[in-house]
Amino acid sequence: MSFFRTFLIFFIVILAGNGPLGAFSKPDDTPPIDLAVAAKAFEEARIASDRDGGALWGKPLYGPLLFVNPETKFAVANQADVEGKLAKQGTVWTGTLPETVSPANTALDWAGVRWTMVMWPLPQAKESRVRLMLHECFHRIQDDLGLPAASPGNVHLDTRDGRVWLQLEWRALERALVSTGETRRRAVADAIAFRNHRQSLTSAAATEENALECNEGLAEYTGVRCAALAPEDAVADALVALRRARGAKSFSRSFAYVSGPAYGVLLDAADPAWRQKLRAMKKKDMAAACAAAWRVQNSKPTKANLLERAARYDGSTLIAVETERETAHLARLADLRARFLDGPALVLPVADGFNFSFDPNDVTPVDDRMTFYGSLRVVAAWGVLEAPRGAVLVRNAQGDIISTRVPLAPNVPFDQQKEWNLQLAANWHAVPGERAGELRILPKE
């Protein structure tokens, strides 16, 4: 079973841009989640799923659904669990998640049920919250569809060239979405050309990009389609995502939420059967499916031809902006290496029960082995780590996570560190590491 089924991905909806649903100020004995509001949201998700009728993926999207308040772990579900950990209250079931579960927007196996888990509060706008709920419902069934979750680093998308050619691809996709006929087909061809060139610059680029697009990209496309009442609504949402993503701080983890809906709605317009064909592909690739549907040749244009195409999308200005950004980005990477790798650090290994949650909009790949998360919560047999000011996950050559690192402030006792908090299990302790100033968390002998 894939490692990525075990961890929790904290998804912040790029398109939401709305206040929370159910945010309120009530007496202290009021549940952290308004049960009536939660029941209404469950019904909205069910109606959206019924409206789809299994057309997208051949099975209902709606199923066991769990809303969780991240501060209190209070949970509201649309059905009972198997182990009796939830109690019925009216039309919903309530309870509290254990400390070993990190609240997140993801699929979760807990109390004998495979749930869709969604963080509370939900977006205020109905379309946004339906999109979020159905996005996460896809994650609950994706393994059964032969589309397992994966979360590769995509480090190249935070380099100057990666960012330039990704944003050119997005600009071409935007033009394709607002065009018709030959103009649309040419814009699709431009997008594919920019993408192929970008992926040719890094050996693992195509594999990593396709893996995340077939995880988060398909999930976000599913949410967009199910929230839309008409095809033009889905197109409008895809356009909003493309425009809001321009110039974002990092693309390595968030790009798939943007590319997925754009390719998905373009595929809908050209080949209604594309989802079944994608599932049957040995190497699943939304862009390749789009190229086939729009009869775009998978050619290798010359550099001169690429630049000529880029000029249609103001490529020279984009290159100048990203060249300037690169200087600051390289300085930031050097600072992260100094803080988390070269400086004093606490190292926590992957252990039983390992899972983590994070914000995909604040992720910076430092290199192929180390990724910085602006905020991170990690749970494992050694306890619970809360790192609201940042932490890094370290991977081995095979891409498997092997440890978490947080900085150690010099001359500050282990239990008085300010940048993070560790609830350490009784049978684990901190011992000196291999490097000067390093501490490692290990089980007691």
Q: What is the mean pLDDT of each run of 10 residues along the chain (445 residues)?
A: 36 38 48 96 98 97 97 96 98 95 93 98 97 98 96 92 98 98 97 97 96 98 97 97 94 96 98 97 96 89 94 97 94 93 94 89 87 94 95 90 94 87 94 89 93
Measured distance CA(344)–CA(439) in Å, rounded: 8
Looking at residue 300, its pLDDT comes to: 82
* pLDDT value for 5: 35
Strand partners, 109: 114
Which amino acid, 432? P
Q: Which of 116, 38, 115 is nearest to 83 (CA)?
A: 115
- Rounded to whole angstroms, how far apart are CA atoms 254 and 322? 18
| Token pair of 130 as six digits | 């339906």
Two structure tokens written together for 106: 């993801």
Characterize the bridge pairing of strands 439-443 and 345-349: parallel
For the four alpha carbons of 109, 112, 117 and 119, in that order, the dihedral sign comes to: negative
Say how far apart CA 176 and CA 259 lie, in whole Å. Answer: 13
Distance of alpha carbon 341 from alpha carbon 348, whole angstroms: 13
The answer to whether 131 touches 33, Cβ cutoff 8 Å, is no
pLDDT at 3: 34
Q: What pLDDT, on the 0 to 100 scale, is given for residue 415? A: 81
Tell the residue number behind the tokens 């995880």, with chain if given: 215
In degrees and rounded to multiples of 5, residue 362 shows phi and psi of -130, 60
Q: What are phi and psi of 110, to 5 degrees?
A: -155, 140
Residue 426's identity, in one-letter code, is A
pLDDT at 28: 53
Contact 45, 133 (CB under 8 A): yes
For position 297, what pLDDT does the model report? 84
Q: What is the DSSP code string of 90-109?
A: TTEEEEE--TTS---SEEEE
Which DSSP helix (H) or strand (E) runs through 194?
helix 181-200
Count Cα atoms within 13 angstroms, Cβ side, for 16: 18
The pLDDT of residue 12: 34
What's the CA angle centered on 253, arms 251 and 256, to 5 degrees?
80
Q: How many residues appear in the chain?
A: 445
3-state SS assignment for residue 295: coil
Element holding 130 (H helix, E strand):
helix 126-141
**pLDDT at site 62:** 98
Q: What is the DSSP letter of 241?
A: H
| Half-sphere exposure (Cβ direction) of 35: Cα atoms closer than 13 Å | 13
User: What pLDDT, on a 0 to 100 scale, did the predictor assign at position 26?
Assistant: 42
